[in-house]
Structures are given as C-alpha cells and as structure tokens.
Amino acid sequence: MPSLAEKFAELERLLLEQRRTLALHAGVPFVLLVYDPFQEEICREEQAHLKDKLLDAGLIVSEIRLETFVFDWYAKKGLLEKIFEKESQQPQDVHRDLAKNYRPALAQHVIQVAQDLEDQDAVLMLTGVSHLYPFVRVANLLEDLENQVKVPLVVFYPGEELDSELRFLGLQNSDGPHSKYRARRI
C-alpha cells in the first residue's frame, strides 16, 4: 500500500498533468484520496503543501472546509441558536433534522462553487470530511454531485479500503456498503 506521501505525489501529478482527463475512465472528475484517519494531522499538512503547489502552478484552488459548513449554513439561515437550544432538550430531533437538511444544502453549495469555477483552470477540494459523520454519507453526497460538478473534485477520505470496499473512519458500514464509487481512488 502506498504511503501518504506517495498518494499526495500521485494526486499532485494527476492534478497538474492529467486534470482535464480525470473524467475519462470514471465518468466523473472526482478523486478520493483515502488515508488512515489517525494520520489526519499529517494529511492536513500535505493538503496545505499541495494547495500551495497548485496555486504556484497557476491553478485556482477552492476549498470547502466541512468542519464548519453545517454551523455556517444554519447561522446564515438564522437558526444556529435555535439548533443549540433544541439540541439540549431534544437531541434526537436535532440529529434527525441535521441528517435530513445537511446533505442537500451541502450538495447545492458544492455544485454552486463548482459552477463558479467552470471554464477556469481550477480544482475543488473537500477537506474536513470526517465531520460529515454521522449525518452524511460520502457515497450519497458524491452521487448527488454526479453530472453536476465538471471541475476536478478532490475528496480527502479518512478511512480504509478493504477488498475494494471503503470504510469511512475505519468503521464498518459508516458510509454504507459501497464499493462502487465512480471516483478515482488513490
């Protein structure tokens, strides 16, 4: 199995040299960089280095940080305080509401950012992906983005690959029983 440094070197090569051909084999310009969740800090450092290299090469790099997205989205709606109040009294209802509303809002946001980047030499990155759990499954989010996102989309996927099945955060069935991601895996 390649090291994290080797995976980032491959990703850099893909994005600098083969970016326009990413969708040829999978039908979507999506790349999953699968890494051990215990290497989160190192992965974040590698992401920053990669972003700098891509910017130095003249690419536009847009990053959607998922660790704050849900809070930012509810704050824009003016509902963040209500969510916190309700969570202290009815946590199950809040978790259900988050699961129901989070994925469509996130998918629409990613689609809008991607559309703004179309016709530019750009890359879109989803970081802090572990923060989707337990509300959004990566596989379902990527399905929502298929045929909508035309720019290269890199998803930094904290998990493991066992017998061609991905396990989000190393947990069995945390991302569903999916083995057929259309995204290119590194």
* Number of folded domains that form the chain: 1
Segment 80-96, tens digit of pLDDT: 888 888 888 888 887 78
Full-model pTM: 0.88
Q: Is residue 145 part of a domain?
A: yes
Segment 121-157, tens digit of pLDDT: 999 999 999 988 888 888 889 999 999 999 999 999 9
pLDDT at 46: 98
pLDDT band at 166 (very low <50, low <70, confident <90, very high): confident
Q: Is residue 168 part of a domain?
A: no
Q: What is the 3-state secondary structure (H, E, C) of the chain?
A: CCCHHHHHHHHHHHHHHCHHHCHHHHCCCEEEEEECHHHHHHHHHHHHHHHHHHHHCCCEEEEEEHHHHHHHHHHHCCCHHHHHHHHHHCHHHHHHHHHHHHHHHHHHHHHHHHHHHCCCCEEEEEECHHHHCCCCCHHHHHHHHCCCCCCCEEEEEEEEEECCEEEECCCCCCCCCCCCCCCEEC
The mean per-residue pLDDT over the stretch 51-80 comes to 93
Q: Is residue 113 part of a domain?
A: yes
Across the chain, mean pLDDT equals 88
Domain hosting residue 26, numbered range: 4-158
Q: Is residue 174 part of a domain?
A: no
